[in-house]
Structure 1
Amino acid sequence: MLYAEGSIVFKPPTNYARAQQHDHFNKDVILLPNPSWGVVCKQHPKLRLHKHGHILSAFEFQKAWDHQTVMERIRDSFGEHIPEDVSLQFLMACGNKLVSPKLQEGQELNGMLIHKVYKTKALYVRPSRTLLVSESTTLEDLEKSKAPLLDYLANAGCLRPMRSIRDRDLLVHDIVMFQVIHRVQGPFQRFCEGLKTLGVLEKIRRHPDSFRPLFCYEPSTLTADRVDDLFSIRLSPEGSNKRAAEEMVVTFWRDYLQDAEEEEGPSKLQKILAFATGASVVPPIGFSPTPSVQFIHKGDDDFSSTPMFPMANTCVNCIKLPLHVSYQLFKEKFDFALGNTYGFGRA
């Protein structure tokens, strides 16, 4: 069975059990917005949590941490997003649901257990009360969610009494208006004043179509060459045995992009981009971090046998390619991976 959990979009079946010989490991940590949340975060909800600063991508754990240290480090990393009076519970994905890991009596989730129990899965953190204003369902939750924001709300002119839960939407509207419009109104006006120098603003108003590419993002059709340019190739040191095998696979990768464009056009290239980054189009400001191509060698990490399928980690925009010796096999396995991976979740 193929599967994808957390940030790993696709990982083929393999009999791996060899522990990593490192004292640390990386894992996504997702802070849930309220205590009633019980499903795996996907797509739009995950994007919303990311925008609110509720996701730590590739957070570094130490295997030597005890349970208390794990809690403290996660609290410190999320900072003001977790008030001091909020207690936390660790959850893990089981299918599409979130469950509490079943441990032996007396055991606590320390660094070593998190590494063994969660494997490639993200660690979910459930708060004891609602943290986001927009997620509040009772007046009490709304007041508690608003409390850490009082200084911000006062400066934004959004401080209003909450008499019922219906006031939540009004408060959210006020915050959005301030953040999107009023907050940038002054700088925007100064920008316009600057454009008046030498009559630039007047020219823009007379010829908006000519200036539009300078100020507005216009998505362009994906091509094989453009997708190739998006990815940086991370090769082993020159002269090594690994480098020779990797350079052969780089040619397979570029041939595969060309074949994808010829066979299905931009639609297949979008699938390849989404496989590696989670996005089927290039964002207006580009990707961060820069997408990269890495390679899977036998013996790397958990792989005791020769890997057959590509892997991807969308949190760091990285695709890892297996080292096949023929293009036909490379193409066959990549096509199979694309056809049996449907975003986050199980395939």
Structure 2
Amino acid sequence: MEIIVQRTILDSPDDERFKSVIDKHADWIIDQGLLPTKTKLEKKDKVATYLLKNILYYRFHAEITQFVNGLDKVGLLHKEILHAPEAFSSLFVHQAVHLKFDTFRLLYEVNFSPEGSNNRRLEKDTVYFLEVFLIECDGKESDIALADVLMFWTGASSVPPMGFDKKLEVDFVTADRKLPVAHTCGMVLELVCGLADPDLFKEDMVKAIKWSGGFHLC
């Protein structure tokens, strides 16, 4: 919204339009430390520049200063970063990592029934189907990417910089045929046991992901 206001001020062709924009957003402009009564059409460039600087810099200035001071208390680290910013970028800038099956598999755990129970074999078959599907998503054999699966499962299309706060989970239900369900609040993927082969499982997963619009809300 802030950028739109700034752009609208710049595009104001006359006093009437300029005053209309200022009056409409007067409360927000005051919050930025600017008095609407002091704004004039002939100074619209300066007004827009001030608002943009406030959006991008001034409102975070205290936090930035505190962060810089903290870095410099550790061997003048901020000054070292300024000398070689590229060497330090990976510490401060999130680098999105392309998901691969091997790394995706480390993100989740499976909640199996006790060993020897009647459901255990069906659950193992279902996990096998899941992992066949994930391997296909890792390659070019599916129009669903691992990022789509992660979005459906967690609501996030990539792993957060600090990782998830817990393992993703796989749960099972034994019910009549229905699509997989993702509970993004708990990051739980609920699968139906008893499907005959990986193709049926893949069909249901693709439907669930595509029909959900990206991820299923709790």
Name the TM-score, length of structure 2 as normaliser.
Answer: 0.64
CA contact (8 A) 1:222 1:266 kept: no
Q: Contact between 2:148 and 2:157, CA under 8 Å: does it hold in 1? A: yes
8 Å CA contact retained: 1:270, 1:280: yes
Q: Does 1:239 align with 2:116?
A: yes
Query: What is the aligned partner in structure 2 of residue 224 from structure 1?
Result: 101
Out of 186, 206, 210, the position equivalent to 2:66 is: 186
Which residue of structure 2 aligns with residue 279 of structure 1?
A: 156
Cα distance change on mapping 1:172 and 1:279 into 2, 3 Å: farther
Cross-structure match for 1:249: 126
| Partner Cα separation in structure 2 for residue 320 and residue 249 of structure 1 | 11
Amino acid at match of 2:104: V
1:76-225 to 2 correspondences below 5 Å: 166-170=25-29, 173=32, 180-183=60-63, 185-196=65-76, 200-201=77-78, 203-225=80-102
Counterparts of 1:195 and 1:242, CA distance in 2 = 58
User: Taking structure 1 as the reference length, what is the TM-score of the superposition?
Assistant: 0.43
Distance change >3 Å, CA 252–CA 165, structure 1 → 2: same
CA shift at 1:224, angstroms? 1.9
CA change 1:181–1:228 in 2 (3 A) is: farther
Deviation at 1:257, TM superposition (A): 0.5
Aligned counterparts of 1:266 and 1:217: Cα–Cα separation in 2: 27
CA distances 1:234-274 after superposition (whole Å, capped 9, x unpaired) = 22233322233222211211111101222257962122111
Q: Helix, strand or coil: the match of 2:134?
A: helix
Q: In structure 1, which of residues 258, 263, 284 is the aligned counterpart of residue 135 of structure 2?
A: 258
1:329 maps to which residue?
Answer: 200
Q: Which structure's relative contact order is higher, taking Cα pairs within 8 Å and 6+ residues apart?
A: 1
Alignment-derived partner of residue 45 in structure 1: none
Q: Which has the higher helix share?
A: 2
Correspondence for 1:297: 174
The answer on whether the counterparts of 1:204 and 1:211 sit within 8 Å (CA) in structure 2 is: yes
Q: 1:207 to 1:264 in 2, by over 3 A?
A: farther
Distance 1:312 1:319 in 2: 4
**Are 1:316 and 2:186 matched, yes or no?**
yes
Residues 11-90 of structure 1 correspond to what in structure 2 (within 5 A)? none
Task: Show structure 2 runs of 5+ residues with no match.
Answer: 1-22, 34-53
Distance 1:249 1:272 in 2: 16
Higher-Rg member (1/2): 2
Q: Provide the aligned C-alpha RMSD in A.
A: 3.1
CA distance in structure 2 between the partners assigned to 1:170 and 1:285 by the alignment: 36
Query: Which letter does structure 2 place at the counterpart of 1:188?
Result: V
Structure 1 position 339, deviation (Å): 3.1
